[in-house]
Amino acid sequence: MTYGADDRLDTPPVTDWVNDWDWLDDGWGENAIDIWNSVRDQCPIGSTERYGRAFMPVTMDAVRDIANNTDDFSSVWVNVARPDAPRAAAPPITSDPPDHHGHRRLILPAFNPKAVANVEQELREYCRKLIRELDGMDATDAALHYTQHIPVHGICILTGLPEGDADLFRDWIYKTFQLAPKDNTIRLQVLTEMSQYIDGLLKDRLVNPKDDLLTTIANAQIDGVDVDWGIKIGYVRLQIVAGIDTTWSAIGSGIWHFAQHNDEVQRLIAVDNDDMLWQTANEEVLRYYAPVTMARKVINDVTVQGCPMHVGDQTLVTFPAANHDPAAFEDAHIFKLDRENNRHVAFGLGIHRCAGSNLARLEMLVAFQEWLRAFPNYSLDPAKKTTWANGQVRGPRQIPVLLNR
């Protein structure tokens, strides 16, 4: 493999997922669960040379060992990409101890349980509005007309990002996750565009402060010292790339799943919205269809579950694969609506555990409740195909359904 300064890295289709995995292979998105299971049958950690040397842990133990070890694994690289890829800081996710703590403390209050609970009714009204827009239709694309809009609405309320720019955000996210790991030109272009855009937003908040996270970030200090402007831009970039297609993917996976399991839909809509069954169903969607895989850079030679890794290598932190490890979950391969003791790692482990998990859970719950009650007999449209995003954030991007009113 050669890595020119600006060339696109073209790679052949994968035939060996243990020794030559590629999360941007066309087969990954739709088949990832089967891929992880088949690799796990052979070894706890797969590898590839496509992006330099990079590993893919598929057991809970291996994922836990990496996520909890901030001495040997750094978050400066949080996606596996060409080794010469330009990277930019987006703390707290790209920071290591001791800096990580201060960055995280700045962001967390915006997503605490009280702040999130305040937006529930607004989210519910918004879902109902999206559903009303389908009046008179027999079929739709549930990703295009429903799932993709809900997280943008939630994140914009909580941060102050302008919702009118949703298409722009989704375009940047698509390019960041689907194209940029193999293409430095696109990566640089997106980084530059996002930085210029965010720079404008933050400068505006300095002169026109509002009661929102953008204003907090524009004025951010840690221990009485102004945070570097480039880091402030990174904080906002993280809100956009971490807060939108993650939850979009989780909601979409649930809508796709329930379209094929009407018995489960009937069980859910038979109980009140505050019944525990809704909570366990939400957690099981998160376990079974966990959308987010992270990555780390190896900064010391280290051995994980018998697998030697060397300085400069990259590794995935394949949280979704750990969620399917039969050593960690009874009947891991079965989707159980009322699963108890569901200690999934969809939101990660250790110091980087998801800062937006309260919001993500609420958006999912409300989206499912409103959709399943509105369309209790919906099903996949057999004449059309669901398409999946591959790579770091996995989830359905087109979900053609019949509404069967």
Q: Which of residues 250 and 402 has its CB atom nearest to ligand HEM in the complex?
A: 250
Query: Which stretch in 11-19, 329-337, 351-359, 381-389 sits in contact with ligand HEM by CB under 6 A?
Result: 351-359
Q: Compute the distance between CA of residue 126 and CA of residue 163 in angstroms, rounded to an integer.
A: 13
Query: Which stretch in 4-12, 167-175, 307-315, 347-355 sits in contact with ligand HEM by CB under 6 A?
Result: 347-355
What's the full length of the chain, in residues?
A: 405
- Nearest approach, Cβ of residue 92 and ligand HEM (Å): 4
242 is a contact residue toward ligand HEM (CB under 6 A): yes
Binding mask 149-168 for ligand HEM (x = CB under 6 A): ------x-------------
Q: Which of 45, 292, 302, 367 binds ligand HEM (CB under 6 A)?
A: 292
Closest CA to 369 of 289, 272, 285: 272
The residues pairing with 309 across neighbouring beta strands, listed in sequence order, are: 302
Q: Which of 106, 238, 365, 399 binds ligand HEM (CB under 6 A)?
A: 238
Could you tell me if 116 and 362 are in contact, meaning their C-beta atoms sit under 8 angstroms apart?
Answer: yes
Q: Which of 178, 216, 246, 392 binds ligand HEM (CB under 6 A)?
A: 246
> C-alpha angle with apex 10: 313 to 43, nearest 5 degrees?
45
Could you tell me if 404 and 379 are in contact, meaning their C-beta atoms sit under 8 angstroms apart?
Answer: yes
288 is a contact residue toward ligand HEM (CB under 6 A): no
What is each CA distance from 172 to 73, 81, 114, 245, 261, in whole angstroms? 27, 17, 30, 11, 33
123 is a contact residue toward ligand HEM (CB under 6 A): no
- Nearest approach, Cβ of residue 10 and ligand HEM (Å): 28
The residues pairing with 308 across neighbouring beta strands, listed in sequence order, are: 303
- Nearest approach, Cβ of residue 231 and ligand HEM (Å): 13
At residue 262, the 3 state secondary structure works out as: helix
281 is a contact residue toward ligand HEM (CB under 6 A): no
Query: Which stretch in 161-169, 240-248, 365-373, 375-383 sits in contact with ligand HEM by CB under 6 A?
Result: 240-248
Q: Compute the distance between CA of residue 214 and CA of residue 159 in angstroms, rounded to an integer.
A: 6
Q: Which of residues 92 and 396 has its CB atom nearest to ligand HEM in the complex?
A: 92
3-state class percentages of the chain: helix first, strand second, coil last, to nearest 5: 50, 10, 40
354 is a contact residue toward ligand HEM (CB under 6 A): yes
54 is a contact residue toward ligand HEM (CB under 6 A): no
Q: Compute the distance between CA of residue 237 and CA of residue 169 in angstroms, rounded to an integer.
A: 10
- Nearest approach, Cβ of residue 298 and ligand HEM (Å): 15
Q: Which of residues 236 and 402 has its CB atom nearest to ligand HEM in the complex?
A: 236
- Nearest approach, Cβ of residue 37 and ligand HEM (Å): 20
- Nearest approach, Cβ of residue 254 and ligand HEM (Å): 10
Contacts with ligand HEM by CB under 6 A: the residue count is 31
Residues 71-100 that bind ligand HEM (CB under 6 A): 75, 78, 92-93
Query: Which stretch in 10-18, 47-55, 237-245, 322-330 sits in contact with ligand HEM by CB under 6 A?
Result: 237-245
Q: Which of residues 255 and 290 has its CB atom nearest to ligand HEM in the complex?
A: 290
At residue 308, the 3 state secondary structure works out as: strand
Residues 168-227 that bind ligand HEM (CB under 6 A): none
- The residue behind tokens 């509005």 is 129
Closest CA to 320 of 301, 348, 355: 348
Q: Strands 314-317 and 54-57: what pairing? A: parallel
Q: Compute the distance between CA of residue 284 and CA of residue 280 in angstroms, rounded to an integer.
A: 6
Instruction: Output phi, psi for 197, to 5 deg.
Output: -60, -50
Rg (CA), the chain: 21
Q: Which residue is nearest to ligand HEM (CB)?
A: 356
234 is a contact residue toward ligand HEM (CB under 6 A): no
- Nearest approach, Cβ of residue 108 and ligand HEM (Å): 8
Q: Strands 307-309 and 302-304: what pairing? A: antiparallel
243 is a contact residue toward ligand HEM (CB under 6 A): yes
- Nearest approach, Cβ of residue 398 and ligand HEM (Å): 19
String of DSSP letters for 17-56: TTTS--TTSTTHHHHHHHHHHHHHHH-SEEEESBTBSEEE
Hey, what amino acid is at 64?
Answer: R
Say how many Å lie between the first and final Cα of the chain, rounded. 53
- The residue behind tokens 């890295």 is 9
Interacting residue ranges for ligand HEM, rule: CB under 6 A: 67, 75, 78, 92-93, 104, 107, 111, 155, 238-239, 242-243, 246-247, 250, 290-292, 294, 317, 319, 346-348, 352, 354-356, 359-360
